[in-house]
Amino acid sequence: MTLLIVTAVAAEAEALSRGLPPGADVTVAPVGVGPAAAAAGTARLLALAGDRYRAVVSAGIGGGIGLLPGATALATRCVAADLGADSPQGFLSLDELGFGSATAEVDAALLAALRAALPDAVAGEVLTVSTVTGTAEGTAELLRRHPAAVAEAMEGHGVACAAQGAGLPFAELRTISNVVGPRDRAAWRIGDAFAALTAAGTALAALTL
């Protein structure tokens, strides 16, 4: 059975695929930017595939929280950080509103296999946001609400919902292209993040699940 790796954009899928050895039992597919596109795209792939896939990994570049460009983060859980309600008293999460949980757990066995395959990767919470954090105030608020976060990206929670809806193990991997903080596009190190994605592709292809 095949491992499904979903990325947001084609360039991420290509970087990851460069690390795959010939004949790797892995499908890499771009499904779109943001949690809604990622959930819909992943759910569509899973529905079309019958029982072909054994696990789903959301992978791509991301913003580092305490991690520098080129580093690799593995999610211990995915938190939909902006899913909730604003209020004069501050942000209220889905949990606080009583509508369920904004946290998607990752599969413990899949995470353990990823940690063994990528020993330099840092494990921690990965946040899913619909808007890239880009101010000092926004960053401070995010860190206050999520002190255990190591990275921010835009798809993980959506992919998790699709994978878990299909009853498949889920994990998220992010290679760091930029530091979360006041927006400075010129400081993004896409090449470093893509090189780490290529190395992650090699490690993912060797997983035995």
Ligand X SMILES: O=C(O)c1cccc(C(=O)CC[C@H]2O[C@@H](n3cnc4c(=O)[nH]cnc43)[C@H](O)[C@@H]2O)c1
Q: Which CB, 62 or 169, lies closer to ligand X?
A: 62
- Smallest distance, Å, CB 177 to ligand X? 5
Q: What is the C-alpha separation between 120 and 144, in angstroms, rounded? A: 26
Which chain residues interact with ligand X by CB under 6 A? 8-9, 11-12, 33, 60-63, 129, 132, 152-155, 177-178, 180, 190
Q: Which CB, 27 or 130, lies closer to ligand X?
A: 130
Helix, strand, coil tally for the chain in percent (to 5): 35, 30, 35
Q: What is the C-alpha separation between 201 and 20, in angstroms, rounded? A: 5
- Smallest distance, Å, CB 34 to ligand X? 7
- Smallest distance, Å, CB 159 to ligand X? 11
Q: Name every residue whose Cβ is closer than 8 Å to that of residue 68 and which is 6 or more positions away in sequence.
A: 176, 179
In the chain, how long is the greatest CA-to-CA distance? 55
Element of type H or E holding 179: strand 170-179
- Smallest distance, Å, CB 156 to ligand X? 8
193: nearest Cα among 60, 57, 29: 60
Q: Which CB, 54 or 66, lies closer to ligand X?
A: 66
Give the nearest residue (CB) to ligand X: 63
Q: Which CB, 34 or 84, lies closer to ligand X?
A: 34
Cα first-last separation, the chain: 10
Q: Which CB, 84 or 87, lies closer to ligand X?
A: 84
- Smallest distance, Å, CB 174 to ligand X? 8
- Smallest distance, Å, CB 136 to ligand X? 14
Cβ atoms 38, 8 nearer than 8 A: yes
Q: What is the C-alpha separation between 179 and 162, in angstroms, rounded? A: 28
Q: Which CB, 109 or 175, lies closer to ligand X?
A: 175
